Amino acid sequence: MKKSLFFLISAIFLIFLAACNDNSQEDNNAEANDEESNESSEAETKTFTTDSGDEVEVPADPERIVVLHPTYIGALLKFGHEPVGVSFYVDQDEVLNEATEGIERIDPEDVESIINLEPDLIVATATDPNLNKLQQIAPTITFDSMISTYKDNTKLLGELVGEEDQAQAWLDEWEEQMAQDTEEYKDLIGDSTLSIFQSTPKGLVSFNTDYGRGGEILYDGYGFVQPEALAEVTKDQFNVELSTEELPEYAGDFIVLATEGEEAPIAESAVWKNAEAVQENRVIELDLAVTRYNDPISLEAQRDIIKEQLDAMK
């Protein structure tokens, strides 16, 4: 009888120990799962610093990006991150229009259409009038074109989507191409000045060195410089309106004339015809439909157009 009681008590004790071990293991597993869940949650976001110094918590791997200005689309596409929605202004540009085929177009000022795309990240300009509303929809990254160059934008967009290596690789290759072109055209360019003009019904608009229209390639890449008078009036702004009569004051040794696909009205004026760059066949004609922006895709297309015209001037 005593032996039976002893074995019974022993069996109960062993069962109790096993149950305790199981509960302990479950507690350990639960704690481990909680830790993994917390680590996973932390890994889902990262802190991104904008060009103006603002820190924004963004998805580490965004999947539904909405881009509200065409300038910031090309780099994302280059890095393999296709937005779910882009500003309908891309349709004005043949290069970006083709590159974004199949991506939904939206009115960048229509907040409701942005909400409907359920973005997890929004890319906009620092001057977007709906910025406060956008920030309530999803993490919103802004770019200030008065602060950042196209190179800065490329680096920042690469960082934003975790493609820093791709961004740097593109910039390195681009610098190499610019160096090769500069060597090729050094006898033609020398220390020449260059002015970028866009024809308007009232006269001209002239631009600074990094506002599309070939400026990033011709100034930053090939080493052209602005005439002093033009550099002075555009140093604090992207562009300045000029009358036709002011052309001689701001014209460089070379001129870029950007148009909207039609012959520029100024081309028929005596002031234009008498400009030295015109008489010496040193005018680069650019269609805004393919030269408006300064993202990697747009710049690659512009380079081909510019090189073809410089080749004809040799």
CA 129, distance to chain mean position in Å, is: 19
| Single-letter code of the amino acid located at 63 | E
Which segments of 119-163 does DSSP mark as H helices, in order? 131-137, 150-160
CATH of 45-162, one of 3.40.50.720, 3.40.50.620, 3.40.50.670, 3.40.50.1980: 3.40.50.1980
Q: Give the pLDDT confidence of 199-223 residue by residue, as tens digits.
A: 888 889 999 999 999 999 999 999 9
Q: Give the pLDDT confidence of 31-88 residue by residue, as tens digits.
A: 545 544 444 444 599 999 999 999 999 999 999 999 999 999 999 999 999 999 999 9
Q: Give the homologous superfamily in CATH for domain 185-313.
A: Nitrogenase molybdenum iron protein domain (3.40.50.1980)
Check if the beta carbon of residue 181 is closer than 8 Å to that of residue 221.
yes
How far is 309 from 212, CA to CA, in rounded Å?
17
- Matching fold, domains 45-162 and 185-313: yes
> What local confidence, expressed as pLDDT, does residue 11 receive?
46
Q: Where are the domains of the chain?
A: 45-162, 185-313
Read off φ and ψ for residue 198, nearest 5 degrees. -125, 130
What averages of pLDDT result for each successive group of 10 residues across the chain (314 residues)? 46 46 49 47 82 97 98 98 98 97 98 98 97 98 94 98 98 99 98 95 89 96 97 91 95 96 84 97 96 97 98 96
How far is 226 from 154, CA to CA, in rounded Å?
24
What are the residues facing 256 on neighbouring strands? 196, 284
How far is 181 from 13, CA to CA, in rounded Å?
86
How far is 142 from 312, CA to CA, in rounded Å?
41
List the structure tokens of 15.
């069962």
